[in-house]
Each structure stands twice: as structure tokens, then as C-alpha cells.
Structure 1
């Protein structure tokens, strides 16, 4: 997709991101596609329908991204965020994933579900959104009157030194297993193999095959992820360079400060009073925790055009799509907290999701599907940690609900770990249920 000026390119990127998010928001609301719900169904009821839908979405995204990358239509190497970075922040992926998994369970849903619930009239999720947005924003941006962020104050000094620099310069399975030269072919075949395995897992179940909502939800979410990768990878500028004549380059390359010989004239930046960050135009797809912080930044900047990013319009698109479906289906209704305890659970969950989502570099969608589609090891670690944190929290909640006063937190925790076969069954403190 070629554009003659920066404003047109930016508009095309935002319209593409918003349109796909709008469709995804409507379908997710309609089908009740929910990653936290998927874990809950599997842990509490032994129902794997929504988990298979989630795995189906991952399979679609994985097959789509690896296939399109193989033919040059997706460039995931230079993505934002940098999923394939050679700096494997494994401790942040794991700790952030655990915090996020616990948080989304307490707050009744992940980042994407929070947006879906807002579109459906849930005022509890408005509070959750606000808390996540503030924390996500200040994890990356300096606190008022300071040059420190929450990340630098609380985490950076002790957790970043644990990161591992990989020899191949990238953390995707293709590079790790086949080296830089063989990475392209390896990614394709690994992506196909994993994608087929996930498809087999999903469609092995007759119940899943017979559930239109589960199939539709997984399909649309997966296709939306691939579509966003495609759109953001194919926005280019064509312009007249005083040194090299007619040029066609990606927007992110054009904005690279190293390319100082290019004439960034008014025609290219028509309508812009400041040059935006090149990261806003790097190939990317949907993730929702950092974009909630970006949305707060967009509002605090007076809704400046340069602060309107892919992430911001993705957030707005999902809410709008969910709202449209809620109105059309008659499902729109206001909902508030049932009790102080309900409020505190959501408040604490939102805090944990804000910290965890930024630490892990994504959420159940951002790392669990978008990041996984790049075959990044860190994304897989984050996904496993999110599922574990959520499942463990659900088991603890269940034991405390059934046994009430008898089930202290330590007893419920040890029993939950015994259920998950992470400690010997002899250590169990409560009878299995």
C-alpha cells in the first residue's frame, strides 16, 4: 500500500486497525470468546470448548503470520513490541504473566474482555480500564515531577540483569534451532507443525466442531491478528529524494533517524506539527494493556493527532464493536459492583494486570496470540505463566468458597498446588473436591 504523504499513510494504518478491531469486538461479544473464561471452564468444569477456541485462534494466527512472512507480506522481525528481540527477558515474561493471570481472574477478565464488557455497559470494567491505563502509562512514562517510571523504580534494577542475550540475535524458535541463515525456512515449518497440532487439538472435539460460536470466535480473532500484521507491514511512502530520486520505503524506515539524507519535507509531513516515533509504524498486531496506557496519553495530550496510535484505535475499535453488538442483540445493560469485596477484587486485579501486562510485554491476546504467532520464546513463557497464574487463583478461590473459614489461604494454596501435581499429594491440607 503506497502513499504519497505521511498523513495518508497514517490514516490508512489507523482505519485498518480500527476496522479489524471493530469486527473483532462485535464477534467476541457475540460468541463470548474469553481467555479467562476458557481457563475457568477447563479448571472448574472440565469444559474445554472455549480453550479450544483460543487454541484455534492461535493456530490461525500462527499459520497466517508464518505463511505471509515466508512470502514477504509480513515483517515480524522489527515488530512493536519487539517480540523476537535477542534480549530474552524471561524473568519479566514469567513474573508478568503470573501477575497478569492472577489479576485477570480477580478482575473477571483479561484486557480484551475488559474492553468487551465496557462496550456492553459494564461500569466495573470502566474502573478496571482506568486503573490499568494509569499503571501501564507510568510503567513507561515518567511519574509527575520525576524522571523515573514505575518500571525503573520497582523492577528494572533487579529484574533486567536476569535477561539473556541470545547468540542469534533473535528469540524465535526458527533462529534458535536453525541459526540466522536457516531461520526463515525453520520458522515456516515450525509454524506449520505447531499450527496443525493446535488445529488438531481444537477440532478433535465433536462438541467444539458443533459449536458455531466457539469456531467463529476463534476464527475471527485469529484472522484479525493476521490482518493487523498484514496492514501494519505494508504501509509505505513513495517520495522524491534529492539524492536518490524516486524512493519507496516503509514508514518506519523513513522515520529512522539514521536515514538523515532523506528530505523530510512538508509534503510528506503535511498536517503534522511534530514527527511521531517510528515505533508507531513498526509491524504490529493486537495487544491491549500498553495501548490502554497509550489511550490515557492520547487524552492527556489533548487528543493530538500524533498521539493517535495503532494501539489507541484498537482499544476504541473493540469497545465500539462490542457496543454495536450489545445494542443490536439487546444485551446492553449497566452493571455495578455487588459489594465492597467485589470492588476490591476488581481493583487489585486491575493493578496486577497493569503491572503484569507491561512486564510480560503483553496480555492473553498480545502475548498469547500475537506474540505466539511470531514463535517468540518469551511469548510462550508469558502465555504459560498467564494460564498457570489464572488456574492457580481459580483453584484457591474455589477451595476458599467451599470450605469457607476452614480454608485459610496457605491451606488453599497448598491444596491447589497438589491438585496441579506441583507438590506431593501427601501435603494436601483440604480434601479434594
Structure 2
């Protein structure tokens, strides 16, 4: 998609992203696609229907990214966040994923589900939205009156040194398996094999094959992820330069301060009122919700200037609108508030943990659990496993505490770990429930 001026290209980026988000919000609300609900069904009642729907979204996104990248239609290597970075921040992926998994269980859903619930009238999720957004914003931006972010203050000095640097320059499975010289073919074959294996597992279930909503939810979510990858990778500027003649460039290159294209082609962004957007905001990307919630909070509390609307802000409002449209269509809009003080504190804890965890992990159940894993990045798979583990363990502990009201936390924890086969049965403290 070629554009002669920056404003038109930026409008296409935001408009397309917003439309995809509306579709996502509408379909997720209709089908009850829910990553936390998927873990809950699996852990508590042994139902894998929604887990398979989540896996279908992953498989569709992975297959799409594999094929589109081979054809040169998308460029995950240049993505923001840098999923395939040569530096594996494994401790951040795992700690952040675990915290996020615990948080989404306490907060009644992940970042996407928070927006879906807001669209349905849930005021509890507004608080969770603000908590995630404020923490995510200050994890990445300096706090007032200082040059310190929450990340630099609380985490950087002890967790970043644990990172591992790959000599190959990338952490995706294709590069790990085939080497940097054959990374493209490695990604193709690993992506095809993994997506095929997931499709076989997903559709071998007769119950899943007969559940229209689960199939629709997984399919549409996966297609929306691919759509966002394509839109953010394919928008380009085509203009005449006094220095270089005809120039065709991506938004990322145009905004890159090292290329000086923005400064040398002022007529291309003539009429743009506001500061130059960051290079990251023009990079290839797809759906994730923690950093976008932070961007949205920043956008709201700095005067809602239109030049500060990014891909992230657009998808946040798009998902809420899509959810609202379906809720109104089905006449299901209902105002919800906290049922008790305990309910309030559960959501408070959930929002805080998701804010910290989502930024540490570089994403959420969508950002790492679908978008990230579609790039075959090792860190994304570590984050996904940690999110599921954190959520499953929290659910188990909560269930034991509900059944055995007088039981201590560590007794419930030990019994939960035995149930998850992470401790020997001899360490069980409570009878299995």
C-alpha cells in the first residue's frame, strides 16, 4: 500500500487497525473467546474446548505469518516489541508471564477480556484498565520528577543481567534449528510443522468440531492477528526527494531517527500537527494489550491529542466498541460493580500484577500468547507457558482455600502443585478436590 504523504499513510494504519479491533471485540464477545476462561475450563472441569479455540487462533496466526513472511508480505524481524531479538530475556518472560497469569485470574480476565467486559458495562474492569495502564505507562516512561521508570527502579539491575545473547542474532526456532544462514527455510518448515500438528490436535476432538462458537472465535482471532501484521508491514511512502529522487520507504524507516528521512522530506508530512511519532509506532506489529493500555492512559491524561493516537490506542478503543456493539445488539448491556470488599481487592491485585507482569513478559495472552508465538520466538513460548502456569496454579490454590476454609496458604499451594504434577504425591497436605 503506497501513499504520497505521511498523514494518509498514518490514517490508513490507524483506520485499518481500528476496524480489525472492532471485528475482534465483536467476535470475542459473541463467542466468549477467553484465554483465562480456557485455562479455568481445563483446570477445573477438564473441558479443553476453549483451550482448543485459543490453540486454533495460534495455529491460524502461525500459519499465516509463516506463509506471509516467506512471500515477503510481512516483516516480523523488525517487529515491535522485538520478539525475535538476539537477546533472550528469559527471566523477564517467565517472571512476567507468571505474574500476569496470577493477575488475570484475580482480575477476571486478561487485557483483552478487560476491554471486552468494559464494552459490556462492567465498571470493575474500568479500574483494572486504569491500573494496568498506569503501571504499564510508568514501567516504560519516566515517573514525574525523575528520570527513572518503574522497570529501571525495581527490576533492571537484577533481572536484565540474566539475559542470554544468541550468537546467531535471533531467538526464533527457525534460526535455532537451521542457523542464521538458513533461517528463512527453517522458519518455513518449523512453522508449517508446528501449525499442522496443532490443527490435528485441535480438530481431532468431535466436541470441538461441533462447537461453532469455538471454531469461529479461534479462526477470527487468528485472522485478525495476521491482518494486523500485514497492515503494519505493508504501508509504505512513495515520494520524490531532492536528494535521492523517487523514494519508497516503510513507515518504520521514515520515522527512524538514524535515516533523517523525516527531516529531509518535510513536504511529505506537511500538515502534520504534533511531534514526530517514534520509530516503534511505525514498526510491524500485531495485537497486544498491555503496552497499548499504557499508551491509552498516556493519551487520555495528556489531553487526547490526535497526533498521539497510535496503533495501540486505536485497537484499545476498537475492541471496546466491538464488544459494545454486540452487547447492544443482543440487549445484554449490564452495569456491574464490585460485589464485596474482597471482590474489589481481588481486581486491585489483578490489575497491578498484570501491569507489571505484562510489561516484563513483553506481552499478554494475546501479545505473547498469540502474536508472539506466531513469530516462533522462544521467549514468547516461555511467556505463554508461564502465563498458563500462573493462572492454573492460582485457580487451584483458590479452589483448595474455598473447600478447606481453615487451611493455610502453603498447604493449599503444596496440594495444588501435586495436582499439577510438579511435586510428589507424598507432599500433599490436603485431600484432592
TM-score category of the 2 structures, normalised to the smaller one: over 0.9
Does the 8 Å contact 1:26/1:325 carry over to 2?
A: yes
Q: What residue is the counterpart of 2:197 in the other structure?
A: 197
- How far apart are the structure 2 equivalents of 1:108 and 1:269? 45
Q: Does 1:263 align with 2:243?
A: no
Does the 8 Å contact 2:60/2:223 carry over to 1?
A: yes
- How far apart are the structure 2 equivalents of 1:274 and 1:344? 39
Q: Deviations over 1:191-236 (max 9, x none)?
A: 1111011111111111100000000000000000000000000010
Q: What residue is the counterpart of 1:314 in the other structure?
A: 315
Q: Deviations over 1:310-364 (max 9, x none)?
A: 0110000000000000000111100111100010001001100000000000000
Instruction: State the TM-score, normalizing by the size of structure 1.
Output: 0.99
* Equivalences for residues 193-272 of structure 1 within 5 A: 193-260=193-260, 263-272=264-273
For structure 1, the 5+ residue unaligned runs are: none
RMSD: 0.9
Q: Deviations over 1:387-406 (max 9, x none)?
A: 0000000000011111111x
- How far apart are the structure 1 equivalents of 2:307 and 2:377? 30
Does the 8 Å contact 1:4/1:268 carry over to 2?
A: no
- How far apart are the structure 1 equivalents of 2:287 and 2:172? 19
* Equivalences for residues 384-423 of structure 1 within 5 A: 384-405=385-406, 407-423=407-423
Instruction: State the TM-score, normalizing by the size of structure 2.
Output: 0.99
For structure 2, the 5+ residue unaligned runs are: none
- Secondary structure, in 3 states, of the residue corresponding to 1:267? helix
Q: What residue is the counterpart of 1:112 in the other structure?
A: 112
Q: Deviations over 1:55-95 (max 9, x none)?
A: 00000000001100000001000001111111100000000
Q: What residue is the counterpart of 2:65 in the other structure?
A: 65
Q: What residue is the counterpart of 2:12 in the other structure?
A: 12
- How far apart are the structure 2 equivalents of 1:240 and 1:124? 52
- How far apart are the structure 1 equivalents of 2:160 and 2:424? 33
Segments of 4+ moved more than 3 angstroms: none
Does the 8 Å contact 2:239/2:268 carry over to 1?
A: no
* Equivalences for residues 119-198 of structure 1 within 5 A: 119-198=119-198
- Secondary structure, in 3 states, of the residue corresponding to 1:169? coil
Aligned residues: 432
- How far apart are the structure 2 equivalents of 1:114 and 1:299? 18
- How far apart are the structure 2 equivalents of 1:285 and 1:249? 20
- How far apart are the structure 2 equivalents of 1:361 and 1:134? 16
- How far apart are the structure 2 equivalents of 1:108 and 1:238? 46
- How far apart are the structure 1 equivalents of 2:270 and 2:338? 47
Does the 8 Å contact 1:100/1:353 carry over to 2?
A: yes
Q: What residue is the counterpart of 1:378 in the other structure?
A: 379
Q: Kindly state the Cα deviation for residue 153 of structure 1 after the two structures are TM-superposed.
A: 0.6
Does the 8 Å contact 1:7/1:272 carry over to 2?
A: no
Q: Kindly state the Cα deviation for residue 258 of structure 1 after the two structures are TM-superposed.
A: 2.0
- How far apart are the structure 1 equivalents of 2:146 and 2:291? 21
